[in-house]
Amino acid sequence: MRLSRYFLPVLKETPSEAQIVSHRYMLRAGMIKQASAGIYSWLPLGFKVLKKIENIVHEEQQRAGHIPMLMPTIQSADLWRESGRYDDYGEEMLRITDRHNRDMLYGPTNEELITDIFRAHVGSYKDLPLTLYHIQWKFRDEIRPRFGVMRGREFYMKDGYNFDVSKDAALHAYNRHLVSYLRSYERMGLQAIPMRADGGPIGGDYTHEFLVLADTGESEVFYDSAVTDLTFGDRDIDYDDVAQCQAVLEEFTSRYARTDETHDEALFNAIPEDRRRTARGIEVGQIFYFGTKYSEAMGATVQTADGKSVPVHMGSHGIGVSRLLGAIIEASHDDKGIIWPESVTPFHCGIVNLKQGDAEADAACDALYQSLTALGLDPLYDDRSERAGGKFATMDLIGLPWRITVGPRGLKNGVVELTSRRTGESEEMTPEMAVEKVA
């Protein structure tokens, strides 16, 4: 992409409404624009990152054997009356009446809708196990939307639902989700720690939240520092292997790590003192096993091998896709701007032309642009006639991992400059070598 043809409305001033760094940088980098409280338009740069994160989530869910689909945002209140949650959910639910006076709502989550789909089409244990998921906009009328996309009212969420014949089978689905979530967050360059949590309005007492440690997080967390040494890495996992998935769950959840909702002072104090930590965290996902809560209320049953009709065992599993942009920026930035991990960066590298209009510099930039594009990479070429300082500031703000700087002086010696956003280190090399390093 050539910057002169792109839409990147960078702000010079720091917006006064933004209290935390990720919100400030997302506004300043022209990634989002508030439409109304807690509701945002995703401008091209923000949209690109959102799609990259979404894509990682899709890949890891499908690797785990979970099946993508799409449910609507607007739901009928009748289903929620069946489960009893129409009254229970409270003011976070946006209720709508259509022209025929029917009660509708903008879905805050989808347990009812998916259970309705299940009961209409599945009746036998032979069709199980089954895990369906979608990535769709949700609406929750948060009392205090804030911190940009971190606590929006409209937000993008992956929510998956498992259907199993027994509690044991459903707990295997729970473990599969835990593993696939660990993999997803790590691919985004994040450490998200599974912590014992509270069921809330979804219900169930078998649940973990995934938290990214950050001072700006809204949750208070208590943990054994040993949990921060754990990484999933690139180990092989067979998602059908019950024992292997269970072992990962045990490895990642046996040490003390809890949110304030389930915190137990006595257990916490049993950890050696030098490993006790109290901190803040950002909730980027949660998994639940809630058994037959919805299937019993809504009559979702299956026939077992010995001919009995039993309510199906279920769980639900969410990832805050749009919140993750904020969480990644909170975890990876400096005072100049964002530092994107390679896996989610909106463009692979920036090309800065120090002297736009200089025939040699222009030709060298065009050649770099073409070589990078031919390799399937996605460069952002700043081809505007601006001062170098302004171009560098924009590149630093939007946080691309690499910058290739091209100017007449270097070109005389046949070199360009390659700069790493993370380390700030620059090195002169031939354009060919720069392409090789970035690729």
Q: Contact residues for ligand ATP (CB under 6 A)?
A: 109, 140, 142, 151-152, 155, 157, 200, 283-286, 318, 320, 322-323
285 binds, among ligand ATP, Mg ion, none (CB under 5 to 8 A by kind): ligand ATP
Q: How far is the CB of 342 from ligand ATP (least distance, A)?
A: 23
At 429, list the tokens: 């090399």
Q: How far is the CB of 327 from Mg ion (least distance, A)?
A: 14
Closer to ligand ATP by CB, 282 or 438: give it: 282
Q: Half-sphere exposure (CA, 13 Å, Cβ side) for 317?
A: 28
Residue number of the CB closest to Mg ion reads 286
Number of Cβ within a 10 Å radius of residue 51: 13
Q: Considering only CA atoms, which of 189, 193, 186, 235 is closest in space to residue 212?
A: 193
Q: Considering only CA atoms, which of 234, 222, 306 is closest in space to residue 271?
A: 222
Q: Tell me which amino acid residue 300 is.
A: A
Residue number of the CB closest to ligand ATP reads 320
At 38, list the tokens: 């807690």
Closer to ligand ATP by CB, 151 or 421: give it: 151
Task: Kindly give the interhelix angle for 44-63 and 321-331, rounded to the nearest 10 degrees.
Answer: 110
Q: How far is the CB of 255 from ligand ATP (least distance, A)?
A: 21
DSSP E strands: which ranges in 214-248?
A: 219-224
Closer to ligand ATP by CB, 148 or 401: give it: 148
At 400, list the tokens: 């691309």
At 334, list the tokens: 């400096």
Closer to ligand ATP by CB, 24 or 391: give it: 24
Q: Does 322 bind Mg ion (CB under 5 A)?
A: no
Closer to ligand ATP by CB, 282 or 372: give it: 282
Count the helix, strand and coil residues of the chain and give each as a percent rounded to the nearest 5: 40, 30, 35
15 binds, among Mg ion, ligand ATP, none (CB under 5 to 8 A by kind): none
Q: How far is the CB of 274 from Mg ion (least distance, A)?
A: 29
Q: Candidates 286-294, 319-327, 346-354, 423-431 — which segment interacts with Mg ion by CB under 5 A?
A: 286-294
At 325, give phi and psi (nearest 5°): -60, -45
Closer to ligand ATP by CB, 107 or 285: give it: 285
Contact letters (x/-) for Mg ion, 416-435, by CB under 5 A?
Answer: --------------------
75 binds, among Mg ion, ligand ATP, none (CB under 5 to 8 A by kind): none
At 318, list the tokens: 């969410």
155 binds, among ligand ATP, Mg ion, none (CB under 5 to 8 A by kind): ligand ATP
Q: Does 286 bind Mg ion (CB under 5 A)?
A: yes
Q: How far is the CB of 214 from Mg ion (least distance, A)?
A: 15
Q: How far is the CB of 288 from ligand ATP (least distance, A)?
A: 8
Q: How far is the CB of 110 from ligand ATP (least distance, A)?
A: 11
Pairs from 232-237 (Cβ < 8 Å, separation ≥ 24): 232/179, 232/182, 232/183, 232/186, 233/186, 237/179, 237/183
Q: Is the peptide bond before 408 cis (omega within 30 degrees of 0)?
A: no
Assess contact for 245 and 278: CB atoms under 8 A: no
Closer to Mg ion by CB, 283 or 330: give it: 283
Closer to ligand ATP by CB, 320 or 379: give it: 320
Query: In the block, which residue shows the tokens 């090195």?
Result: 427
Element (H, E) at 105: strand 103-106
Q: How far is the CB of 266 from ligand ATP (least distance, A)?
A: 25
> In the sheet that 103-106 helps form, which strands lie side by side, from edge to edge?
74-76, 103-106, 94-97
Q: Tell me which amino acid residue 377 is.
A: L
Q: How far is the CB of 24 from ligand ATP (least distance, A)?
A: 17
Binding site residues, Mg ion, CB under 5 A: 283, 286
